[in-house]
Structure 1
Amino acid sequence: MNDRTAPALSLAGVGKTYNPGRPNAVEVLRGVDLDVAPGEVVALVAPSGAGKSTLLHIAGLLDTADIGRVSLGGRDMTRLGDRPRTAARRDQVGFIYQFHHLLPEFSAIENIVLPQLANGTSRAEARSRAAGLLAQVGLENRGKHRPAALSGGEQQRVAFCRALANAPRLLLADEPTGNLDPATSDRVFGALMDLVRGTGLAALIATHNLDLAARMDRQVRLEAGRIVAA
């Protein structure tokens, strides 16, 4: 049972080393401590190769830490088996990546409906929610279009809606506008922030764009494998 007053995400002493015990071992994370409160939008600022994707994957239960604790909504996820981890990830976490990864054979609205159907939502309810999310990002008239018929910015906005389809408590985004030109990036990021603010979920958004980071509630920096205030 999740505690609604607890941090949406809590990382305590999280460490991760690739190829441990070998000459080519790489210690990526070294005792990361970070809390993200419900409704808070936190910018994770770090250059490429600093380990921010690894941190997001561990936070979202896609990867496991070597040491430390990962909690979602006050519930310790660290020692869960594969099935409960998968269920927690499906129910509580939404992911956005630099590339949209939309299914090309399905329309925009179908791309948002599918994860809801996988989570047991009725088709009618799923389509209603998908249509509502598309309207929030200004794509109410583009729902029947397949990804190839959408611009890059439109595709990424559909990906945002898909990430929020199952009403997660935590959104994790890895350079969500990094593949867009500056003008489109600014507009699309505004749509993302409107979505996040409208749903009140917590968000941890990795970016190297300091202008975008400044629009969030708080900035933290990943430096030498640890989190420091930006």
Structure 2
Amino acid sequence: MNDAVLNLRGIEKTYNKGQPGEVQVLRGIDLSVSRGEVVALVAPSGAGKSTLLHIAGLLDTADRGQVAIAGQETAGLSDARRTELRRQDIGFIYQFHHLLPEFSALENIVLPQLANGVPRRDAAERAQTLLARVGVGHRGGHRPAALSGGEQQRVAFCRALANGPRLLLADEPTGNLDPATSDQVFGALMDLVRETGLSALIATHNLDLAARMDRVVRLEAGSVVVASGIA
């Protein structure tokens, strides 16, 4: 796909290779996410979705296969170049917010921008704009412990988008929230993704949330078994 922001081809991954307990987690995965497309990755526990997201996000390497981010083939890149590509072009969201507890919500969004060379004033302005977009602009001065679970995750969304990535990877981003809060927080995430034109691959067990995305990919036993549109 020429307009693919993420392109995975023939991805294989085996743990404990050649040893007792060898487990082949991914078996020749082919998957692309187009510019502006939001794809749901639906999989049972242990099917390999987290491993796939880590490989897609250059946090792990495949045994075989190729990963391209915005047309950039990543095979053979130095660790420094992989880190740069990850910092500039990829945003991550996890089930748990992983915010730095000693910093305010605003500061948690400012810090990754400073690491990317953005002046502090510009970083703070962008952080405040992102917080306002997800409805927690008034909570920027609070530390994570003073925020509700839904507020913490909204801040984590903003942090993932702080450096203006092209690709968002999310692993059960609302899985730690109650159903009502999950629905509200996911709505805020989708609004933010649509407004910014991001491409996204979002893993979820929640079929109702999956149905709100552009396409569903189902992963079972390390293989893509269903790829479908959602009416």
The bucket for the TM-score relative to the shorter chain is over 0.9
Number of corresponding residues: 227
Output one character per residue of 1:67-112: Cα deviation in whole Å (capped at 9) or x when no partner: 0000001111122121111111111100000000001111000000
Cα distance in 1, alignment partners of residues 132 and 215 from structure 2: 28
In the other structure, the counterpart of 1:157 is: 154
**Where in structure 1 are there 5+ consecutive unaligned residues?**
none
TM, length-normalised to structure 1? 0.97
Q: Secondary structure at the match of 1:183?
A: helix
User: 1:190 aligned to 187, 191, 215, which one?
Assistant: 187
Q: How much identity, in percent, do the aligned residues show?
A: 74
Q: Secondary structure at the match of 1:48?
A: coil
Output one character per residue of 1:14-36: Cα deviation in whole Å (capped at 9) or x when no partner: 00000111121000000000000
Tell whether the 8 Å contact from 2:44 to 2:220 is kept in structure 1 after alignment: no
Cα distance in 2, alignment partners of residues 66 and 207 from structure 1: 25
Output one character per residue of 1:42-89: Cα deviation in whole Å (capped at 9) or x when no partner: 000001111100000000000000000000011111221211111111
**Where in structure 2 are there 5+ consecutive unaligned residues?**
none
Output one character per residue of 1:176-205: Cα deviation in whole Å (capped at 9) or x when no partner: 000000000000000000010010010000
**C-alpha RMSD of the superposition:** 1.1
In the other structure, the counterpart of 1:106 is: 103
In the other structure, the counterpart of 2:84 is: 87
- Give the counterpart letter for 1:23 in structure 2: P
The 5 Å alignment of 1:141-152 reads 141-152=138-149
The 5 Å alignment of 1:20-99 reads 20-99=17-96
- Give the counterpart letter for 2:135 in structure 1: G
Structure 1 residue 224: Cα displacement: 2.0
In the other structure, the counterpart of 1:13 is: 10
Structure 1 residue 158: Cα displacement: 0.1
The 5 Å alignment of 1:156-175 reads 156-175=153-172
Extract structure 1 runs of 4+ deviating beyond 6 A: none
User: 1:181 aligned to 178, 181, 187, which one?
Assistant: 178
